[in-house]
Amino acid sequence: MRKRTFVQSAIFAVTAATWGLAQAQTTSLKFQLDWRFEGPAAFMTYPAAQGIFKQAGLDVTVDAGNGSGGTVTRVASGAYDLGFADLAALMEFHANNPDAPNKPVAIMMLYNNTPASVMALKKSGIKTPADLAGKKLGAPVFDAGRRAFPIFAKANKVENVAWTAMDPPLRETMLVRGDIDAITGFTFTSLLNLEARGVKASDVVVMAYPDYGVKLYGNAVIASPKLLAEKPEVVKAFLKALVLGAKDVMAKPDAAIASVKARDGIINTDLETRRLKMAIDTVVNTPDARSEGFGQINAGRLALMASQVSDAFNTKTRVDATKVWNGSFLPTAAELDVLPKK
């Protein structure tokens, strides 16, 4: 009996020590999305749900957001270690807060092209950017497409438009009602929202920014400088796990959407699956992404975007492209080769 007790105690001690070591090796990270739990959030929720982060020694908490600007601010404040935000919003923060002690940095590009577009109903008669002159456009004040519209307008010689601001849920409703002539927004968000309001996709004119001379980058993974400086190996492990998850999400979007549904049970699974697939096709697995490499950027293109954002956003100082991007934590080129073949 005494021998059995000794053996049991020894086993318990070893198990406890092993468990304690595993706990000690697990790093907790807080990650904030740019928006609610919609289809594209699967890129973050899937590796969390499937234990891919955990296998990398990470305990990652993924929270919903309320806009890229808020995500950048919360990572800058230290409330979150990492986030997912529009690169233009990150650039604006850098340029408008030159003395901020903790300016987040983009470390992996996910949306190689901006998802922003101008959308109008065909019955409005709007067919090209030139038709927007003298029209009423609508979008929330923080909408990425609205903020970058001066770049679109300059590239397409559009002048004399009037803006109407509204809360995000009213944007597509006001377009359908005829209160405004066109809207800006992420294509995979507004187009599907219009469909939910009874409008056929075939009845919508979509002028995607990348198709009209606006080669802006979209959303990137951003990190706090404190995390980068103090835990570089943790950052590398996080990105490697994220890339592994992204490969599965792009290969099996129908299955990956379950991880989003688990975070918000009221989402429409079919709708969000379509949204995820649309995001993959239009901003993730694009010709530019295949040319530059998944997760990576082109330095010349980044520098041009920095200049365009400085002008369009009228920032206090010029955006320094070298300060907003750090690709040194990315996995190898072979590991980043995860884009499905077209």
Per-residue pLDDT tens for 3-29?
444 444 444 443 333 334 344 579 999
State the pLDDT at residue 129: 98
Q: What is the pLDDT of residue 9?
A: 46
Q: Using one digit for the tens of pLDDT, what is the confidence trace for 271-301?
A: 999 999 999 999 999 999 999 999 999 999 9
Domain boundaries, the chain: 27-111+217-324, 116-212
The pLDDT assigned to 341 comes to 87
User: What residue ranges of the chain have pLDDT lower than 70?
Assistant: 1-24
What pLDDT is attached to residue 90?
98
Neighbours of 87 (CB within 10 A): 27
CATH number for the region 27-111+217-324 comes to: 3.40.190.10
Going from the C-alpha of 111 to that of each of 40, 55, 278, the distances in angstroms are 10, 26, 12
CA atoms within 13 A on the CB side of 42: 30
Does this chain's domain 27-111+217-324 share its CATH topology with 116-212? yes
This prediction has a pTM of: 0.90
Residue 10 has a pLDDT of 43
CATH T-level assignment (fold) for domain 116-212: D-Maltodextrin-Binding Protein; domain 2 (3.40.190)
pLDDT at residue 17, as a whole number: 39
Nearest 5°: phi and psi at 156? -120, 10
Beta carbons of 161 and 133 less than 8 angstroms apart? yes
